[in-house]
Each structure stands twice: as structure tokens, then as C-alpha cells.
């Protein structure tokens, strides 16, 4: 079965989408088959991955994440398979859609109904899980990467209980440090509640469900490294950067250890140190490429070297994801 990895932080604008897209290309380049799901109604991942024309074509052909989930919203039936867009060798995308907000709208009731042991609640709450798994099976994928919006909402809850692991992108600032305890608290709470729901599962529910036994594994966090600057702002960022390991341990590791998830208490440093990459980021967006895929005319001179250097960083993150999750692949 494919391994599902969510990129989650309810703090917005911390690099979730950018890191996901770049590490996905690194995973595909080392030979893993990867499917991306844009589960954020902002659809930023889709805008990064494909041109406007390609996106319009997906909307016209009704092959976005909304089209997959729409039958549950209209009451027409269960989710349906949509053919993912091929982005590269080994890499596909199920595009995002602003109308995903309508599916988000039925998730809170679905959760309450699942806790009350009602079959419809299980159908709605596990729709993302079953969609991820079915799509991965059809494409023989090794990994499914999920891009989520910056919310602690019921859609993200459904995505997290469907995941084998999650990564927390964050920035070196007060807001990210403060966000960590709510990330840990939310996930611990969601997993605990899901275990309660599973105890109430009615006999009529025969489809496969996420068990949340020893998952989702907290794989760690990725911190933007602003200390590359030698001027005064670097010091200001470092104050917050230095607080992150303890905030991660207390806010995420301990609450998840308390619900018996496999955490590594010693691992409190960032998985990778990602530098502030200034204009390389918008250039890569324009070209719908990973930062390290930019060519000599898209990034010149020292910028070109900086773009190529990020390949090692994203390969490192790809290898961490593989080594932490591959045992059961």
C-alpha cells in the first residue's frame, strides 16, 4: 500500500506547498511513484504544478478533487475515481478546486455521525482515505503527498487520520512557535476521537477504514533558515529559531507520545534547513518547475548555483520520508 504523507500546519504561508512540490519531484527522481493531492481550496499546489490552460482543461474534464468528492455532497453516492494529471515521469496530480469548500462543509457532520456510529458518517469521514488509496492502487504509487490549507478544520482532520506520516513546515517566528502546541494537540485529539468512532463502527460499514494504529507518524519539521543573512534581521530570526526544538518537543512530540504514536524524542532539530531563496521561488512558480529544475536562462550565475544546491536538500528530505515510511512499502 502507498504511504500517505500530509504537509500540515494551520499557520499560513510557511512553505507547505513549495516544499511539498519540490520534495515530490525529488522523490520521483529517485524512482518513487508519487501522487499529489491538492486538498487546499486555494489550489496553490495546482497553480504551481500546471499552467492555467492545463488547469482549465481539468475543470472542463471534471477531474479535480471536487469532482471526486461531489457525489458525497449532492447525496448522489460515494466518491468517484478521477484520472490524475501526469506531471513528470513517476509523478501525478489530482488538481485542487475552490468548490472543495463545499465538501469541507459536510465534514463536521460526518465526523459527529461517525462518532455516533452512523454509516454515512464513516462514508464521508473516510472518503479522502479511500480516494487516496484507490488512486494510489490504480497508479501503483509508492507515495501520496497531501497539500492542506492553513486550517484546523474537519477536512484537515479527515486528511490527517488518513495519513501514515506528516511533516510540519514552519518559519522562524513567534507565530510558528505558538502554532506547534496546537498542531500536536489537534492531531492527538483527532486520533483519540477516531479510535472512539472505530469502536462504534456499524456492521453495514464494510469498506476499508484508516485504523490510526501507530500512525500518523510525526516525521518532523522543516524550518526556513533566515540566518544566511549576516545583517541584524538574522539575529532576530535566530531568537525564534532557537526556541523551535523545545517547542516541537513539548508541543508535538510529547502529546503524540502520550497517545502511543511512534515518536523519536531525541529528534528535535529540523529535517532540513531551507534557506530563504528570494527570486528563485517566483521563477520556479512561473516555470511550473522545482527550484532545482530551473535552467541557466531561468536562473543566472550565482542564482543558478543556488537553485541547483537545493536539489541535495530536497533529496535529503525525500530520503528521510522513504527511510521512515518504507518498511511497510
Ligand X SMILES: Nc1ncnc2c1ncn2[C@@H]1O[C@H](COP(=O)(O)OP(=O)(O)OP(=O)(O)O)[C@@H](O)[C@H]1O
Spatial distance between the Cα atoms of 8 and 17, rounded to a whole number of angstroms: 10
Q: How far is the CB of 193 from ligand X (least distance, A)?
A: 24
**154 Cβ contact partners less than 8 Å away, ≥ 6 residues apart:** 104, 107, 108, 110, 111
90 binds, among Mg ion, ligand X, none (CB under 5 to 8 A by kind): none
Q: Which three cell numbers stand for residue 276?
A: 530563504
Q: Which three cell numbers stand for residue 7?
A: 504537509
276 binds, among Mg ion, ligand X, none (CB under 5 to 8 A by kind): ligand X
Tell which one of 11, 16, 33, 139 touches Mg ion (CB under 5 A): 16
Neighbours of 85 (CB within 10 A): 21
Tell which one of 9, 17, 67, 223 touches Mg ion (CB under 5 A): 17
- Looking at the Cβ atoms of 276 and 304, the one nearer to Mg ion is 276
Residue recorded with cell 474537519: 154
13 binds, among Mg ion, ligand X, none (CB under 5 to 8 A by kind): ligand X
Q: How far is the CB of 166 from Mg ion (least distance, A)?
A: 14
Q: How far is the CB of 77 from ligand X (least distance, A)?
A: 30
By CB under 5 A, tell whether 44 contacts Mg ion: yes
125 binds, among ligand X, Mg ion, none (CB under 5 to 8 A by kind): none
Q: How far is the CB of 15 from ligand X (least distance, A)?
A: 4
Q: How far is the CB of 318 from ligand X (least distance, A)?
A: 17
Query: Which stretches within 116-268 are classed as H helix?
Result: 119-125, 127-139, 154-161, 174-199, 232-248, 254-258
Q: Give the residue nearest to Mg ion (CB).
A: 17
**195 Cβ contact partners less than 8 Å away, ≥ 6 residues apart:** 212
At residue 267's C-alpha, the angle toward residues 136 and 254, to 5°, is 90
225 binds, among ligand X, Mg ion, none (CB under 5 to 8 A by kind): none
Spatial distance between the Cα atoms of 93 and 16, rounded to a whole number of angstroms: 16
What residues between 132 and 161 interact with Mg ion by CB under 5 A?
Answer: none
Q: To the nearest 10°, the Cα dihedral for 315, 320, 321, 323?
A: 120
* Contact residues: ligand X, CB under 6 A: 12-18, 40, 42, 44, 149-150, 169, 224, 274, 276-278, 281
- Looking at the Cβ atoms of 8 and 79, the one nearer to ligand X is 8
Q: Which residues bind Mg ion (CB under 5 A)?
A: 16-17, 44
Amino acid at each position: 500500500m502507498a504511504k500517505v504523507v500530509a504537509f500540515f500546519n494551520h499557520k499560513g504561508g510557511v512553505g507547505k506547498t513549495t516544499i511539498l512540490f519540490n520534495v515530490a519531484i525529488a522523490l520521483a527522481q529517485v524512482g518513487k511513484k508519487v501522487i499529489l493531492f491538492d486538498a487546499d481550496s486555494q489550489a496553490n499546489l495546482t497553480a504551481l504544478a500546471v499552467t492555467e490552460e492545463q488547469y482549465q482543461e481539468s475543470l472542463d474534464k471534471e477531474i479535480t478533487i471536487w469532482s471526486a468528492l461531489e457525489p458525497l455532497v449532492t447525496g448522489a453516492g460515494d466518491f468517484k475515481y478521477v484520472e490524475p494529471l501526469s506531471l513528470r515521469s513517476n509523478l501525478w496530480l489530482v488538481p485542487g478546486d475552490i468548490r472543495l469548500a463545499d465538501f469541507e462543509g459536510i465534514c463536521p457532520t460526518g465526523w459527529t455521525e461517525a462518532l455516533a456510529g452512523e454509516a454515512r458518517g464513516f462514508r464521508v469521514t473516510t472518503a479522502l482515505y479511500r480516494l487516496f488509496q484507490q488512486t494510489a492502487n490504480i497508479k501503483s504509487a509508492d507515495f501520496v503527498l497531501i497539500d492542506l490549507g492553513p486550517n484546523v478544520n474537519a477536512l484537515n482532520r479527515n486528511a490527517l487520520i488518513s495519513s501514515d506520516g506528516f511533516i510540519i513546515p514552519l518559519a522562524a517566528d513567534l507565530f510558528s512557535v505558538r502554532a506547534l502546541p496546537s498542531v500536536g494537540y489537534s492531531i492527538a485529539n483527532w486520533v483519540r476521537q477516531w479510535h472512539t468512532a472505530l469502536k462504534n463502527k456499524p456492521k453495514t460499514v464494510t469498506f476499508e477504514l484508516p485504523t490510526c494504529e501507530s500512525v500518523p507518524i510525526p516525521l518532523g519539521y522543516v524550518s526556513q533558515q533566515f540566518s544566511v543573512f549576516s545583517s541584524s534581521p538574522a539575529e532576530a530570526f535566530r531568537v525564534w529559531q532557537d526556541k523551535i526544538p523545545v517547542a516541537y518537543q513539548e508541543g508535538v512530540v510529547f502529546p503524540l507520545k502520550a497517545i502511543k504514536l511512534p515518536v523519536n524524542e531525541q529528534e528535535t532539530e529540523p529535517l532540513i534547513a531551507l534557506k530563504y531563496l528570494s527570486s528563485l521561488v517566483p521563477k520556479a512558480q512561473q516555470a511550473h518547475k522545482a527550484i532545482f529544475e530551473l535552467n541557466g536562462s531561468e536562473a543566472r550565475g550565482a542564482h543558478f548555483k543556488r537553485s541547483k544546491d537545493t536539489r541535495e536538500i530536497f533529496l535529503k528530505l525525500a530520503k528521510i520520508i522513504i527511510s521512515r515510511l518504507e518498511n511497510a512499502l
